[in-house]
Amino acid sequence: MKSEFKILFKNAGLKITPQREVIFNAILKNKNKNFTTEEIYDMVKYKHSYIGISTVYRSIKIFLKLGLIERARLDNTTVLYCISKNKSSSDGVIICLNCNYVLNLDDDLFNSLNYKINSLYSFEVNKSKNSFYGLCSNCK
């Protein structure tokens, strides 16, 4: 993923600043979790006090545009970010509302669902993304 980070930045004509690298590495280190912008800022500010919250916001905007991270809306006001799943990964995730743990669901589950949608409604699904929210076994 780090090499993809560098290639995407180079192809987009963007500089890889130390701040962007630190912020991306913090998200990458916790790739099975979703974070708010403020939580990402909290992860980097203690070791890298020169990084401000506005730098985190700008970096997230760039990471989204390059497809490095994904956005998930928890509710009307809370937006979470996580490392983008590659194209071969699951169409669905389970997200814990308490600890933000993320689990990719089995692709076979969605393949059979897509097949049923096609046969019942004569509708060919080209793309889907499903997020299921609840509590993980550790947070129940």
Given a cut of 60, whether residue 68 has pLDDT beyond it is yes
Task: Domain 92-134: state its class.
Answer: alpha beta
pLDDT of the residue at 76: 76
Torsion of CA 44, 90, 124, 79, to 10 degrees: -30
Residue 88 is predicted with a pLDDT of 37
Domain boundaries of the chain, sorted by first residue:
2-83, 92-134
- Which pair of tokens denotes residue 73? 């809306």
Whole-model pTM?
Answer: 0.64
pLDDT tens digits, residue range 88-126?
A: 345 677 878 888 777 777 777 877 888 888 899 999 877
DSSP assignment of the chain = -HHHHHHHHHHTT----HHHHHHHHHHHHTTTB-B-HHHHHHHHHTT-TT--HHHHHHHHHHHHHHTSEEEEESSSS-EEEEEPPPTTS-SEEEEETTT-BEEEPPHHHHHHHHHHHHHHH--------EEEEE--TTT-
* Model confidence band, residue 43 (pLDDT cutoffs 50, 70, 90): very high
pLDDT score for 44: 96
**Which pLDDT belongs to residue 55?**
97
Q: Hey, which residues does 130 pair with through a beta bridge?
A: 92
Q: Do the domains at 2-83 and 92-134 have one common CATH topology?
A: no
Q: How confident is the model at residue 83 (pLDDT cuts 50, 70, 90)?
A: confident
Asked: is 2-83 a CATH 1.10.10.10 domain? The reply is: yes
- Residue with the larger pLDDT of the pair 133 and 24: 24
